[in-house]
Structure 1
Amino acid sequence: MDGAMVFAMALEVGAAALVTWLTWRAASGSLPRNSLAGVRTSITLSSEAAWRIGHRAALRPTIISGIATVSWCTVCLGVAPLRTPVAVLVAAGLLVGGALLSIPAAHHAVRRSSPES
C-alpha cells in the first residue's frame, strides 16, 4: 500500500505542475484558446483577449493551490504515517479547490476589462 500512496502523491505533484504550467502558458499567450486545457468557459473562450486576461487572473489561485499541493505531498512523502488514501484526497482537494477558485477570478477579470460592462 505504501508504494501505491507514493505513486499517487507523485501523480498529484505532476498534476499540480501541469495545471500551473498550462495556466501560465495561457496567461502569457503561448497557449491559445482550445477545447482541452485551461479555464474553458463561455466567458474566457469569447476572444483571445478574454482568454489571456482570464488566465492572468487565474494564475494566482492556480500557483497558490499548486504550491499547497506540492508542499502537502512532499510532507506526506517524508512522513510515512501520512501516506494514506485520505492524504491523497486532501492533495486532490487542494488542486481542485484552486481550479474552482480560478474560475470566478478569471470571470471577474474579463468582465472588469470589458468596456461594455
Structure 2
Amino acid sequence: MATGMVFALALEIGGAVLVTWLTWRAAKGTLGRNDLAGVRTRVTMSSDEAWRTGHRGALRPTLVSAAITVLWCAACIITPALHTPVTVVVASVFLVGGALLSIPAAHRAVRRAALLDRTGHEG
C-alpha cells in the first residue's frame, strides 16, 4: 500500500508540473487555443489575445497551487506515516483548487485588458 501511495503522490507532482508548464506556455503564446489543455472558457477562447491574457492572469494561482501541491507531496513521500489515501486526496484538492481559482483570475485579466483597450486606462 505504501508504494502505491508514493506512486500516487509522485503522479500528483507530475500533474502539478504539467499544469504549470501548460499554463506558462499558453501565457507566453506558445500554446494556442485548443480543446484539450488550458483555461478553456467562453471568455478565454474568444480570441488569441484573450487566451494569452487570461493565462497570464491564471499563472499566479497556478504557480501557487502547484508549489503547495509539490511541497505537500514531497513531505508526504519522505514521511512514511503520511503514505495514506487521505494525503493523496489533500494533494488533489490543492491542485484542483488552484485550477478552479485560476478561472476567475483569467477572466479578471481579460476584462481588465478589454477595459484598458476601450478607455486607455484601468478602471
Shorter-chain-normalised TM-score: which range?
Answer: over 0.9
Match of 2:36 in 1: 36
Match of 1:63 in 2: 63
Deviating 4+ runs (over 2 angstroms) = none
Structure 1, unpaired ranges of 5+: none
Q: Which one-letter code corresponds to 1:83 in the other structure?
A: H
Count of equivalent residues: 117
Deviation at 1:116, TM superposition (A): 5.2
Match of 1:23 in 2: 23
Rg (Cα) greater in structure: 2
Identity across matched positions, percent: 63
Aligned counterparts of 1:116 and 1:71: Cα–Cα separation in 2: 42
**SS in structure 1 at match of 2:33:** coil
Aligned counterparts of 2:28 and 2:11: Cα–Cα separation in 1: 26
Aligned counterparts of 2:42 and 2:35: Cα–Cα separation in 1: 11
Aligned counterparts of 1:95 and 1:103: Cα–Cα separation in 2: 13
Say what the alpha-carbon RMSD is for the aligned residues.
1.0
Deviation at 1:112, TM superposition (A): 1.2
TM-score, normalised relative to structure 2? 0.93
TM-score, normalised relative to structure 1? 0.98
Report Cα offsets for 1:21-66 as digits up to 9, x if no partner: 0000000000000000000000000000000000000000000000
Q: Which one-letter code corresponds to 1:21 in the other structure?
A: W
Match of 1:98 in 2: 98
